[in-house]
């Protein structure tokens, strides 16, 4: 039986539209709106590199097979383009008509070439000669007659480039030279001694003075563009003996992927745009003209510019969890009871303390950890290195196949290896995506097990930006099961079903299916039954079919799905008992929480996996049952808090679109993220007045970048 199913790509674009809706909210200050513009642009960049790239490969080889929603690759590409054109038109209108004018009024202003005075032009000429020109490397492009795609290999993907048309004299044919703008150059060139924060984009400076690169020729035209390459390149692991080397080869191959999008800046001469299409092997459907700046993801650093509090939201600071203070002995604290934390409302420091204190504690004998994405200057990595140097056994499973973090993970793995850490590059054929740490400590003549399980990466930077759950425990039963997981990852030992942990791809799918089936059976008997799930994505056909079956039996199902949702709620025949909501706010919703009514004694779980085929079948993932009574109660409160939002939440309609909820007449607006922050502040004994006396640190530029979206 064919079940109702929404196309994955179009569902993801609906999520990105919800991000863009935040940029359209006039109640938000302009720098916050600019931040959402940058996030939406970054999301689209990765979407084209991965999802559109994969569809383009299917189109080129003539695949006509249909997805679960009944669409061929060509149909999907056509619908994607239609949706993206509308989305980018809105994005550019918001910038031109609302956000940039509001920023200019507040003193942050982009100066265009037409705005420059002679003195500013002279200043920029000096900047170009001294700081920009030495870093530029002109590259001669193939002549137009060289044929389709002849110049594609010269152009770096994802980088802003300037194409120059040149003549030595009027009788000679035009030659074309590519000038890539190195990402090491600052995108925003500040203008000193001007009122407020005024800047010129680096590509405008390059095009103004590009003639200096070619002193003996006539510059007849310049055009600024940015090409996106296909980065959906598979890693063939069969028979490979050196995964690190193969990963390096894959990264090199990604730099030469085919063009999947060509963005051309306003004012680009027609002759240059036409040449680019031919030289880069771009189809007409790949070309997206832009009247606003290219590479809008770069504007995240502008959105975080210091000293403009009146243009930004008041920062929220993580609160210290109950019983936790800097210097608290984490082992003593966990010995007294489990700790469940909700980040970033509550500090990530207890998680860091588990690793950092373990590295120095003489009683600790071993640390085992999985790493998927880490911060650039990772405290976790530093602690693991110290632990190895202190003579402890340190075992780390580093996932080299974490998309777009491969190079960083290779580098950090080598650093750990040099320190004496035992490194494993994941497992063959699967991505290791689970988040687990195990610390073994000698206590009372035996070994004590301290464990951390999380829904997010071991990344102290994104822990301040993403909502995630951490579960820290000294329960030996959980520690022994974590130990069995690590033994399976490192030694290839056979995994058996466990009482508290369900591991994908072996047991997790069956565990969730059984839990859904149990609720279905209860409802069929006339008993109360319910399922509440908070995840990032829902795409797996078998899981959707099981939820439809549960709904038909009478199970009340509430789903809070941040991004992709291929299930269609509200259909009389299939899903009348299912609601789907999504929250987009200041933080990126990232926690995975599952609750099953279980006859009035709810079963509660956290996990690293979404309900996607890749998570359930092609990744090492964890589902962790939360057994502690206090932690279970807290987890239920967190889950319920997401279903009462009536201001930042969107509800999915039967046609796959989303409607932003509004408070009922006479009712107060409820914003889940604000409620969680206020609750964390109250629990820590903080008030709004006290917050104003806090130092707000400047984040280093390297930490302002947007992390890859795992759900693309």
Closest CA to 321 of 294, 340, 295: 340
Peptide bond before 625: cis, by omega within 30 degrees of 0? no
- C-alpha span between 647 and 583 (Å, rounded): 9
Q: Calculate the alpha carbon distances from 609 to 34, 510, 592, 623, 696 in Å.
A: 31, 13, 7, 7, 34
**Counts for the chain of helices (H) and strands (E), in that order:** 21, 27
Q: What are 666's two structure tokens? A: 């006479």
Q: Which of 197, 286, 343, 433 is catalytic?
A: 433
* C-alpha 584: how far from chain center: 13
- C-alpha span between 290 and 306 (Å, rounded): 28
Are residues 558 and 535 in contact, defined by beta-carbon separation less than 8 angstroms?
A: no
Q: Please report the DSSP string for 197-255 in residue order.
A: EEEEEHHHHHHHTGGGG-TTSEEEEEEEEEEEE--------TT-S-HHHHHHHHHHHHT
Are residues 225 and 264 in contact, defined by beta-carbon separation less than 8 angstroms?
A: yes
- C-alpha span between 79 and 144 (Å, rounded): 31
What is the SS3 assignment for 398-419?
A: ECCCCCCCHHHHHHHHHHHHHC
- C-alpha span between 304 and 297 (Å, rounded): 12
Closest CA to 318 of 5, 26, 586: 586
Q: Calculate the alpha carbon distances from 121 to 161, 205, 210, 212, 364 in Å.
A: 21, 9, 14, 14, 62
- C-alpha span between 607 and 604 (Å, rounded): 10
Q: Please report the DSSP string for 608-664 in residue order.
A: S--BSHHHHHSEEEEEEE---HHHHHHHHHHHHHHTS-SSSEEEE-TTS-EEE--PP
Q: What are 623's strand-pairing partners?
A: 502, 607
* 108: enclosing H helix or E strand: strand 108-110
Q: Report CA torsion sign: 560, 565, 570, 576.
A: negative
Task: State yes or no: is 212 an active-site residue.
Answer: no
Q: Report CA torsion sign: 325, 330, 332, 335.
A: positive
How close are the terminal C-alpha atoms of the chain, in Å? 28
Are residues 482 and 560 in contact, defined by beta-carbon separation less than 8 angstroms?
A: no
- C-alpha span between 28 and 30 (Å, rounded): 6
Q: Which residues are catalytic?
A: 433
């Amino acid at each position: 039986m064919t079940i109702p199913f929404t196309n994955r790509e179009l569902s993801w674009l609906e999520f990105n539209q919800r991000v863009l809706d935040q940029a359209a909210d006039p109640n938000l200050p302009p720098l916050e709106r600019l931040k959402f513009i940058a996030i939406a642009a970054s999301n689209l960049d990765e979407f084209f590199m991965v999802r559109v790239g994969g569809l383009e490969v299917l189109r080129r080889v003539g695949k006509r097979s249909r997805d679960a929603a009944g669409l061929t690759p060509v149909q999907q590409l056509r619908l994607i383009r239609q949706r993206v054109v509308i989305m980018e038109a809105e994005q550019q209108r918001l910038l031109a008509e609302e956000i940039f004018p509001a920023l200019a009024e507040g003193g942050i202003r982009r100066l265009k070439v037409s705005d420059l005075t002679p003195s500013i032009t002279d200043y920029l000429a000096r900047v170009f000669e001294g700081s920009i020109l030495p870093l530029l490397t002109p590259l001669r492009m193939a002549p137009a007659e060289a044929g389709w795609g002849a110049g594609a290999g010269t152009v770096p993907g994802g980088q802003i480039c300037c194409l120059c048309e040149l003549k030595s004299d009027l009788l000679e044919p035009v030659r074309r030279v590519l000038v890539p703008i190195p990402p090491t150059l600052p995108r925003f060139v500040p203008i000193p001694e001007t009122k407020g924060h005024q800047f010129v984009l680096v590509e405008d400076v390059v095009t103004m003075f590009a003639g200096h690169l070619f002193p003996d020729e006539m510059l007849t035209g310049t055009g600024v563009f940015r090409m996106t390459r296909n980065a959906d390149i598979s890693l063939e692991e069969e028979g490979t003996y050196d995964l690190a080397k193969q990963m390096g080869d894959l990264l090199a191959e990604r730099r030469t992927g085919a063009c999947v999008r060509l963005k051309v800046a306003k004012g680009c001469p027609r002759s240059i745009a036409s040449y680019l299409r031919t030289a880069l092997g771009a189809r007409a459907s790949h070309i997206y003209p832009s009247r606003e700046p290219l590479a809008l993801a770069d504007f995240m650093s502008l959105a975080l510019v210091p000293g403009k509090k009146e243009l930004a939201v008041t920062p929220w600071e993580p609160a210290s969890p109950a019983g936790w203070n800097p210097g608290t002995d984490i082992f003593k604290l966990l010995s007294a009871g489990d700790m469940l934390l909700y980040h970033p409302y509550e500090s990530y420091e207890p998680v860091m303390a588990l690793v950092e204190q373990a590295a120095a504690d003489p009683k600790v004998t071993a640390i085992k950890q999985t790493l998927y994405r880490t911060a650039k200057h990772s405290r976790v990595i530093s602690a693991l290195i110290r632990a190895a140097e202190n003579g402890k056994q340190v075992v780390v499973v580093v996932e080299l196949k974490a998309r777009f973090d491969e190079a960083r993970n290779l580098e950090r793995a080598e650093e750990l290896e040099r320190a004496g850490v035992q490194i494993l590059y994941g497992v063959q054929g699967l991505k290791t995506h689970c988040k687990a740490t195990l610390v073994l400590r000698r206590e009372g003549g035996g070994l004590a097990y301290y464990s951390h399980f999380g829904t997010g990466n071991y990344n102290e930077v994104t822990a301040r930006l993403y909502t995630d759950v951490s579960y820290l425990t000294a329960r030996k039963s959980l520690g022994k099961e974590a130990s069995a997981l690590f033994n399976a990852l490192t030694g290839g030992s056979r995994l058996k079903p466990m009482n508290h942990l369900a591991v994908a791809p072996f047991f997790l799918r069956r565990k969730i299916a059984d839990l859904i089936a149990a609720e279905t059976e209860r409802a069929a008997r006339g008993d109360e039954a319910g399922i509440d799930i908070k995840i990032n994505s829902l795409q797996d056909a078998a899981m959707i079919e099981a939820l439809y079956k549960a709904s038909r039996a009478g199970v009340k199902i509430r789903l809070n799905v941040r991004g992709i949702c291929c299930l269609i709620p509200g259909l009389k025949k299939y899903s009348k008992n299912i609601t789907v909501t999504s929250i987009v706010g200041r933080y990126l919703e990232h926690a995975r929480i599952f609750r099953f009514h279980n006859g009035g004694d709810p079963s509660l779980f956290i996990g690293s996996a979404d309900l996607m085929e890749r998570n359930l079948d092609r990744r090492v993932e964890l589902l962790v049952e939360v057994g502690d009574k206090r932690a279970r109660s807290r987890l239920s409160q967190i889950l319920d808090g997401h279903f009462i939002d009536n201001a930042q939440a969107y509800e999915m309609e039967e046609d796959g679109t989303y409607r932003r909820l509004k408070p009922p007449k006479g009712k107060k607006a409820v914003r889940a993220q604000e409620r969680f922050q206020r609750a964390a502040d109250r629990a820590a004994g903080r008030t709004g007045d006290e917050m104003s006396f806090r130092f707000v640190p400047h984040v280093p530029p390297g930490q302002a970048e947007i992390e890859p979206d795992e759900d693309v």
